[in-house]
Amino acid sequence: MESHVRAHERKIMKKKIVSVVAALALASLGFSVAPASAAEESSCGTATGFCIGLVTDIGKVDDKSFNQSAWEGAKAAADSLSGFSKYIETQDPKDYASNIELFAAKKYNVIVTVGFLMADATAVAAAKYPNIKFIGVDQYNGSTAPNYTGLGFPEDKAGFLVGYLAGYLTKSGKTAAIAGGPASIPPVRKFIEGFQNGVAYAAKEMKKKYPKASTVYYTGANAFNDPAWGASTAAQYLTQGYDVIFSAGGKTGNGGLARVAKKKGAFCIGVDTDQWNTVPEAQPCLVTSAMKNISAGVQVLIKQVKDGNFAGGNFLGTVGTAPYHKLSGKVPASVQKKVKALTVKILAGTVQTGVKQ
């Protein structure tokens, strides 16, 4: 009996070693994947399987903001729909198409691609695989393909609201936004411009003359993945007397948040998700986050696939701001009331952000 047990244990260990070696081999080819169950994945394309694949842009799946929110949505959908989910992290933009192909070739039911820059590759794949449903996060679907839906968000509204709050919280009148990606990416630009306009709106209400919120965009090759740049940029702003900083953009933005947290009296603002929960080192300064409800949007669209209601086109997700958490006492009750009232108007569209779409 003991020999049988040991043989079984050796068999399990062998499988684990093979899995690790396979993962390392895949990483050497330019991408990394979530651990997979061969039995679960073998059901893809069958009547009993419901497989969800997610491909990130060059941002990591554990970025504690954008990609992580999309992956959490895919996982939650898989759990609630008795499905299976797996991700691939893209290491180089040239691999967008080949990474999507890895899921498509195995007949996954749904493929979620994350990021504006993946739109072209997603549209091509959707045309090639009409029986697979594609969800493009932060993408606009300009085609008539019924199997591809672009999931977009009014980022300017969330940016405007946190900018409005920043306008009321700043004591120096100097506010700044650090963007972890280039201005050529519409969601990034809309967040930042919304923030600038929100600060200006607050200043106008108070009849104060603030300088326009300063902005710096990341333009290097390592967009969304350069926390050192985010931290050094935040440090420069702090030495210049800026006291409210919106640091947005994956791990790059997270680096900025962590640096602001070391400055007593300064406020920082997160992005995409409630970063109080995902970047705890930022809690000393993190007054709120400009949220896109990415996880919820991904779940809704995947459920549409499962229910047979997926229609393609474009789907507009929702945005909002995160709670003040333990910094609530730092935000005057009168300001909290103003932000709450304005939130209703901004989300309803009765107050415009002034940001070009």
Q: Helices in the chain by DSSP H: which ranges?
A: 2-28, 38-41, 66-80, 96-104, 119-128, 155-169, 186-206, 227-239, 250-260, 275-278, 294-307, 333-348
pLDDT in the model for residue 33: 60
Assigned domain for 10 exists: no
Residue pLDDT, tens place only, 60-98: 899 898 999 999 999 999 999 999 999 999 999 999 999
Q: Give a yes or no: residue 12 inside a domain.
A: no
Domain CATH number, residue 108: 3.40.50.2300
* Per-residue model confidence as pLDDT tens digits over 141-194: 999 999 999 999 999 999 999 999 999 999 999 999 999 999 999 999 999 999
Residues 130 and 193 in one domain: no
User: What angle (nearest 5°) sits at the alpha carbon of residue 352, between those of residues 341 and 180?
Assistant: 95
d(CA 268, CA 255): 11
Least confident of 5-14, 111-120, 241-250, 288-297: 5-14
Partner residues linked to 214 by β-bridges? 176
Range of the domain at 101: 30-153+297-302+310-315
Residue 347 contacts residue 292 (beta carbons within 8 Å): no
Could you tell me if 339 and 245 lie in one domain?
Answer: yes
Q: Give first-to-last CA distance, the chain, whole Å.
A: 69
- The Cα–Cα gap between 353 and 22 comes to 49
Q: What pTM, to 2 d.p., does this model score?
A: 0.88
Q: How far is CA 338 from CA 117, 181, 202, 267, 354, in A?
A: 36, 31, 10, 18, 19
* pLDDT at residue 39, as a whole number: 72
Determine phi and psi for 287, rounding to 5 degrees: -85, -30
Does residue 112 sit in the same domain as residue 221?
no
Check residues 31 and 131 and name the one with the higher pLDDT.
131
Cα torsion for 314, 320, 325, 330, to the nearest 10°? 150
CA angle 85/77/248 to nearest 5° reads: 90
Encoding tokens for residue 15? 């499988």
What's the total number of domains in the chain? 2
Give a yes or no: residue 3 inside a domain. Answer: no
The verdict on 120 and 161 lying in the same domain is: no
Q: Does residue 2 fall inside a structural domain?
A: no
Average of per-residue pLDDT values in the chain? 91
Answer yes or no: is 129 within a domain. yes
If asked whether residues 234 and 284 sit together in one domain, one would say: yes
Same domain membership, residue 139 and residue 104: yes
pLDDT for 32 equals 57
In a domain, 55, yes or no: yes
Statement to judge: residues 137 and 170 lie in one domain? no
Mind listing the pLDDT tens digit for each residue in 321-353? 999 999 999 999 999 999 999 999 999 999 999
Q: Is 137 part of any domain?
A: yes
Asked if 89 and 136 sit in the same domain, the reply is: yes
- Considering the domain architecture, whether residues 186 and 269 belong to the same structural domain is answered as yes
The answer to the question of residue 356 being in a domain is no
Residue 171 shares a structural domain with residue 238: yes
